Every structure is written in C-alpha cells, then in structure tokens.
Amino acid sequence: MPSSAQRVTCHSKTNKEPVMTFETVAIIAQGDMGAGTGAQLVRNGLRVVTNLSGRSERSHMLAKQAGLEDVGEDNALIREADIFLSILPPGQAVALGQQMAPHIKSSGKNLIYADCNAIAPATAQEVQAIVEPAGARFVDVGIFGNPPTPEKNGTRYYASGPDAAEFGRLRNQGLNVIECGDEIGRASAIKMCFASVTKTMIAMMAETVVAAKALGVYDEVVHELSGNQTDGFNWAAKRVISTPPKAYRWVAEVEEIGKTFETVGLPGATCTGGAEMFQLIADSPLGEETVENRQRGTTLEDCAAIAADYIGGLKP
C-alpha cells in the first residue's frame, strides 16, 4: 500500500477495522460545484477520478479544467476510489445512487458514499437506503456558498451521519467540513432551510418584478421597493439577476425544500410555486444563458421584461 504524508490511520464509528485517509476520490459532478470541489481536492494533492462517458461538452471542459481524471466507466470509478462524492442537480441524486449501487456491491468495498446534493432529509435517507445495502457507508452532506477557487475557499461542507467524521478527513485536503451530528438528514435539513432563503424567497422576488412588468407598473414598484425596502430589495435584486443560468436546476431543489417543509406540517405550496417560477425562467429565452456567457438579463428590468414578454403579458 502506498504511503503518504497525508495518510493517517483512523477508525470509523461503524467499522472497527482501520481506515486510511483518502488518496483517490471519485466524483460524479456535472456542473460548477462538482468541478470546483474536484479542483480543490486536486490542488490539495488528491487524485480525483470521474466518468465522463455520455456527458456534455461543458462537463468535459469543466472536468478537464479541474484536473479530474476520466476513468470512462462507473465500475472503474468505484474500484479506484476510497470515497465517492455525488454532486449533481438535486433531481438526479436518487438515480445516481441506483446507478452506482451495483458497482459498489460488485467491488466488495466499504467506501464512503457522500451525497452532497441539495435534497430533502427524506431524499437523503432514500439514497442511503439504496447504497448502504450495496455495502457503502452513507454520509449526508450539504454544500454552502460558491464553488472553491484558488483565490477563495469559503465553501462550507456540512456533514452528518455516523460516518461524518470520516468525510471530515477531507479537511486535510482543503475542504471546509463542518460536522453537524450523527443523524442522516441533518446536514440536508440545514441546507434546505438555507436554500429556502437563497432560492425560494428569490423566486418570489423574481415573480414580483415579472408581474410588475406584465401589469405595466414596474417603475412604480421598483421606486417603492428600492426607496422603502432598500436592504431587502438590493439583496434580492442581485440574486434575481444571477438566477437565469441556474434556474433549470433550482426547480428540483425548490421541490425538495417543499418536501422538507411538508414533513414538519408546513405549507409546501410556497415551494410548488417557486419551482414553477424557476421552470418558467428556464423555459423563457432567459434560460438559454450560461454562467460564462451572459448576454441578456444582466439587469433586473431586462430579466423582468424578457420573462413578462415570454408569458405574453408585457405592458408598456
């Protein structure tokens, strides 16, 4: 077995045999957060493998920039890995668990499966129920902030579950891991409540300005809001402008928030509506924008006007 300065012997709570810290991380990462997390681990000396077969040109580009190694198939991915990270649009979290389970089983490995997606606690438990019988140890992770960069590493990885401490060893490889309890679902609960503010409240703000445009009262509404709700308006307006390229993947995230709220007896409709709003933005010409190349929707009024035009309600 290769030796490494970063390698220390430790014990997980559920497995008594010694477990090494990680040399190779497998990651299924389709977007900015997955690529950013992978790049941070590579910068900190880890080998990070992925499987790019069938992926988009953009995913290939992001993986290459991040220094990820393409092993070409899921089976090889699990065989090579000490720990597996799932970082995807939240609607794909369960399907990825189903896809990886047979490979985990055939590998005979007791690797860590960390679901880092923005999903409801109940969805995290659903993934757990798929990958644990295959032999993995499940860790529930919620990611906060923008992807880490060489200049800025403010991203927080909240981790919960009996094996959270083991995921916490990635602190040695540059991830800000915050262990937050033994319960699977706890990290996801924190993520869902936070995302309610950064996603669902912002959907509400987007709906407001699109409605104002469609009703022909945009100037008056923005005058009142910017003058009398200044902090809230400025905070929300900035986030509405950054929404269009991400709206398509926030649909499922907001649905997961609704699922979380309904579990404790709170209204899910707020989130049903929020998801509809992001779907509308994704379906409109605004949805054609990418993070790297914004042409339209770079001001609040332009965002509102394009979406209002799309729903057919544009008034002068």
Residues of the shown chain interacting with a second copy in the complex, contacts defined by CB under 8 A? 121, 144-145, 156, 158, 180, 186, 189-190, 192-194, 196-198, 200-201, 203-205, 207-212, 214-217, 220-221, 224-225, 228-229, 231-236, 260-261, 264-274, 276-277, 280, 308, 311-313
Nearer to a second copy, 76 or 217 (CB): 217
For residue 10, what is the enclosing H or E element? strand 9-11
Least Å distance between CB 253 and a second copy? 14
Nearer to a second copy, 25 or 118 (CB): 118
Least Å distance between CB 212 and a second copy? 4
First-last CA distance in the chain: 71
Nearer to a second copy, 59 or 244 (CB): 244
Least Å distance between CB 62 and a second copy? 24
Least Å distance between CB 12 and a second copy? 23
**Amino acid occupying residue 195:** A
Burial class, 9, CB count within 10 angstroms (exposed 0-12 / middle 13-18 / buried 19+): exposed
Least Å distance between CB 208 and a second copy? 4
Nearer to a second copy, 137 or 186 (CB): 186
The span from the CA of 182 to the CA of 187, in Å, is 10
Structure tokens at 244: 């269009």
Nearer to a second copy, 138 or 261 (CB): 261
Q: Where are the beta strands (DSSP E) in 96-174?
A: 112-115, 137-144, 156-160
Identify the residue whose tokens are 């669902």.
Answer: 200
Q: What are the backbone dihedrals phi and psi of residue 143, each rounded to the nearest 5 degrees, phi first?
A: -100, 135
